[in-house]
Amino acid sequence: MKQTISVLVENRAGVLNRITGLFSRRAFNIDSLAVGVTDDPTVSRITIIVDSGNNVVEQVEKQLNKLIEVIKVRTLEENNLIGRELMILKVNANNKTRQDIMTICEIMGAKVADISPTSLTMELSDTPDRLDTFQSMMRPFSILEVARTGVIAVQKGGGKI
Amino acid sequence: MKVRATQAIMECLLEQEVDTVFGYPGGTILNLYDELYNYKDKIRHVLTAHEQGASHAADGYARSTGKVGVCFATSGPGATNLTTGIATAYMDSSPVVFITCNVSEDLLGKDSFQEVDITGIAMPITKATYLVRDPQTIPDIMRQAFAVAATGRPGPVLIDFLKNVTALNTMIDYEFIPWTQNRSTNSIRELAINHGLKAPEPDIGDINKLVDMIAQSERPLLICGGGVVRGRADQQFREFAEKLDAPVAITVMGGGGFPGAHPLTTGMIGMHGSQASNVACNECDLLIAVGCRFSDRVALQPDTFASQAKIVHIDIDRSEIDKNVLTDHHIIGSAKRVLELLNDRLPQYSHKEWKEHILPLRAEQPVEGGDKLTPGQVLDAIQKAVPHDTIVATDVGQHQMWSIQHFHFEYPGQLLTSGGFGTMGFGLGAAIGAKMGNPDKVVVHTTGDGCFRMNCHELATVQYYHLPIITVVFNNGTLGMVRQWQHLIYHEHYSQTTLDRGPDFVKLAQAYGLKGKRVTNRAEMEAALQEALSCGCGYVIDAQIDMDEMVRPMVAGGAHITDFLLK
């Protein structure tokens, strides 16, 4: 079962290493990980998705809490979070296929980021599921490159971690 | 006030009431040692033969005194030589601040001479690491490091100073704040808010629930773990055990947390646990483990561990709960505080029937007679010759298990042993640290011929500082514990465990300017001990025992706790 862990950490060198080191050391696998600074420049937010049972996630949370550089840890509930991921996807495109690709872009809400005589590069920010759908719709056109950021998430409503 | 950066480091040590440090100098840490020269009246530096010895000495000092140990080393190989010692301290939750210096900022990351990323290397074996690049942060970081090492579940911390940070012309703002007050400075207060540097106050609901569970129990068993020792909660634990009138099993790390000779003691539990402890564990209906992490040497088979019992875990570290064994109830807090609260609420119980069932099983094996020296005779002779408060430092293996099974430890810090990491070569360094911290006590170091050979160069330190440490080598000419496994499990394939080689340990002791004696029977052993106790210098007893001696009882790793391979 996929679970989303949101971690606030001190924004300095070596902290990310400590967090990921903890995962590998205890044989916890990371599905996706995204890091960025928060409104406070001394604090970063790390969003980690793990695909494991409840016991493992509970252990991860407790172990993360022990790290001096970690300020707060919270496992976000699946139905109570806003999670988004950004994807940049480049496909082969020519005069014949370009219009079909654009139709799918329109349906999915993707934006064209770059165009060339032989390719189209699109960006889409959405839930990971919808990115997967978009990616599979693009596959017939022959995908050249895909880059995904990993999910970032916050909880719904007025609360904060 | 403006002071030199190095001066601030020394003053910060004095803030923490540090008077002894262990270490070894080198190129990048020269500035620190130059400052130490100015502080030689206030801070005693113990120069060991090897950085590993210094790390174990600082650890042994911390374990035996309850204070934070301090250890210095230079960059590169000096720092990496500490790593075994850091990991040893980490696994046994011993508070030690390791201070290393690295190359200057302009050389950092360029594979410079004696450069290594020690904060990276030490990351998984410390509570925290600090790389100090700005001299002005020195006071804050020093104070944080000590606070982190000593509070909550204790453990090692590493501070790596860049050489330019310690340059002798670097001046910083500094004000002396004793540690009792500096815990309320801003940076530490922030740290405390996020990480609870104080032990969490136990939840009263959790306490009351355990009180109810105890009332319903007919066959309770207590486990005394390392947390009782680190938290110096021996008095509270004893009161708890006596009120509960329950048998007490002691883990390797719990040695000294509960009197070994107490009528409720069932002895060690786990792989080499006593019949009484292991059977009690299997038959109890309530198991209360205090400061114990259910390691694979205790909970050999987690699924069947204490299968008839409700398991209650008392620990200061929330992440230990349900890590190895699933529990029915837990209380988070320091052993001392939790037990105080419990003791206030508990009536006097009597579990006569249960005790009469379990306690007779602990009958200790009689010491063998005969001309051939046995481990039992060696230990019996030591126990009869030395004062009852003697500190025992062990290495790792058969002699370690025999020592812990045989001696009756009475107080926290009396037994120094590498239980978690199982570091061969730990004992002599730890004994040096213990003797430095407890000059009035007799310190005995028990070791095997394999372990002793690993760090015996620290005899130079024993000689130089005139430390009358008694080293007893259980010399069986083999790596006994590994041989035991090879005998029982590996079809007697004694692969690379026979140590039919030198040195002559008596001559080795003499070469270091110490005394020694080889003994082959009990009378010689007793005579050697008398000489060792009166000679006033380090003494090595080479006790010749048989290579096929085994540690009994034994349960194989992963097996059911009462499934004894050897009785």
Q: Residues, chain A, total?
A: 161
- pLDDT, one tens digit per residue, over B411-438 is 999 999 999 999 999 999 999 999 999 9
Mean pLDDT value across residues B48-61: 98
Q: Is pLDDT of B198 > 80?
A: no
Residues 6+ apart with CB under 8 A from B372: B520, B521, B546
Let me know if B113 is a catalytic residue: yes
Residues of chain A in Cβ contact (below 8 Å) with chain B = 13-14, 17-18, 21-22, 25, 55, 58-59, 62-63, 65-72
Of the partner residues A14, A59, A70, the one whose CB lies closest to the CB of residue B319: A59
User: Do A55 and B317 count as a contact with CB atoms less than 8 A apart?
Assistant: no
- pLDDT, one tens digit per residue, over B4-51 is 999 999 999 999 999 999 999 999 999 999 999 999 999 999 999 999
Q: Taking the mean position of all CA atoms in its chain, how far away is CA B397?
A: 15
Tell me the C-alpha distance between B337 and B232, whole Å: 11
Q: Is pLDDT of B497 > 80?
A: yes
- pLDDT, one tens digit per residue, over B452-478 is 999 999 999 999 999 999 999 999 999
Tokens of B311: 């398991």
Residue B503, preceding bond cis, omega within 30 degrees?
yes
- Place A28 in a pLDDT band, splitting at 50, 70 and 90: confident
User: How high is the ipTM of this complex?
Assistant: 0.81
- pLDDT, one tens digit per residue, over B395-415 is 999 999 999 999 999 999 999
Residue B525: what pLDDT?
Answer: 97
Q: What are phi and psi of B381, to 5 degrees?
A: -65, -40
Interfacial B residues in 320-379 facing A (CB < 8 Å): 321-323
Mean pLDDT value across residues A87-110: 96
Tell me the C-alpha distance between B145 and B150, whole Å: 9
Instruction: Please state, rounded to an integer, the average pLDDT across all residues of chain B.
Output: 95
Helix (H) or strand (E) holding B42: none
Q: Is pLDDT of B333 > 90?
A: yes
Mean pLDDT value across residues B210-229: 97
Please tell me if residue B133 touches chain A, with a CB cutoff of 8 Å: no
- The DSSP 8-state label assigned to residue B498 in this structure reads B
Decide: A19 and A71 in contact? Cβ < 8 Å: no
Q: Provide the 10 A C-beta neighbour count for residue A21.
A: 15
- Place B206 in a pLDDT band, splitting at 50, 70 and 90: very high
- pLDDT, one tens digit per residue, over A51-86 is 887 778 888 889 898 888 899 999 998 888 999 999
Helix (H, G, I), strand (E, B) or coil at B449: helix
Nearest Cα neighbor of A141 from A120, A159, A115 is: A120
User: Do B119 and A66 count as a contact with CB atoms less than 8 A apart?
Assistant: no
Beta strands (DSSP E) in B8-88 are 20-23, 44-47, 69-73
Pair type for strands A43-51 and A2-10: antiparallel
Q: What are phi and psi of B379, to 5 degrees?
A: -70, -40
Tell me the C-alpha distance between B349 and B244, whole Å: 5
Residue B231: what pLDDT?
Answer: 96
Tell me the C-alpha distance between B429 and B11, whole Å: 26
Residue B397: what pLDDT?
Answer: 97
Tell me the C-alpha distance between A138 and A88, whole Å: 12
Tokens of B101: 């210096």
Residues 6+ apart with CB under 8 A from B184: none
Tell me the C-alpha distance between B417 and B404, whole Å: 9
Q: Is pLDDT of B368 > 90?
A: no
Burial A54-83 (b: 16+ CB within 10 A, else e): eebbbbbbbbbbbbbbbbebebbeeeebeb
Residue A160: what pLDDT?
Answer: 83
Let me know if B114 is a catalytic residue: yes
Decide: A5 and A63 in contact? Cβ < 8 Å: no
- Place A24 in a pLDDT band, splitting at 50, 70 and 90: confident
Residues of chain B positioned with their CB less than 8 A from the CB of A70: 194
Q: Is pLDDT of B193 > 70?
A: no
Q: Is pLDDT of B187 > 80?
A: no
Helix (H, G, I), strand (E, B) or coil at B550: coil
Q: Taking the mean position of all CA atoms in its chain, how far away is CA B306?
A: 26
Decide: B85 and B35 in contact? Cβ < 8 Å: no
Residue B195: what pLDDT?
Answer: 62
Q: Which residues pair with B171 in a beta bridge?
A: B4
Residues of chain B positioned with their CB less than 8 A from the CB of A13: 131
User: Do A62 and B127 count as a contact with CB atoms less than 8 A apart?
Assistant: no
Residue B553, preceding bond cis, omega within 30 degrees?
yes
Helix (H) or strand (E) holding B396: none
- pLDDT, one tens digit per residue, over B336-345 is 999 999 999 9
Query: What region does B550 belong to: left with phi over 0, alpha with psi -120 to 50, or beta?
Result: beta
DSSP string, B175-217: ----HHHHTTSHHHHHHHHHH-SSPPPPPHHHHHHHHHHHHH-
Tell me the C-alpha distance between B366 and B384, whole Å: 15
Tell me the C-alpha distance between B135 and B6, whole Å: 9
Mean pLDDT value across residues B78-90: 98
User: Do A65 and B318 count as a contact with CB atoms less than 8 A apart?
Assistant: yes
Burial B269-297 (b: 16+ CB within 10 A, else e): bbbbbbbbbbbbbbbbbbbbbbbbbbbeb
Q: Is pLDDT of B499 > 90?
A: yes
Mean pLDDT value across residues B55-84: 98
Q: Which residues pair with B71 in a beta bridge?
A: B22, B98
Nearest Cα neighbor of B544 from B428, B368, B377, B365 is: B377
Residue with tokens 């030690």: B96
Quote the percentage of chain B above a pLDDT of 90: 92
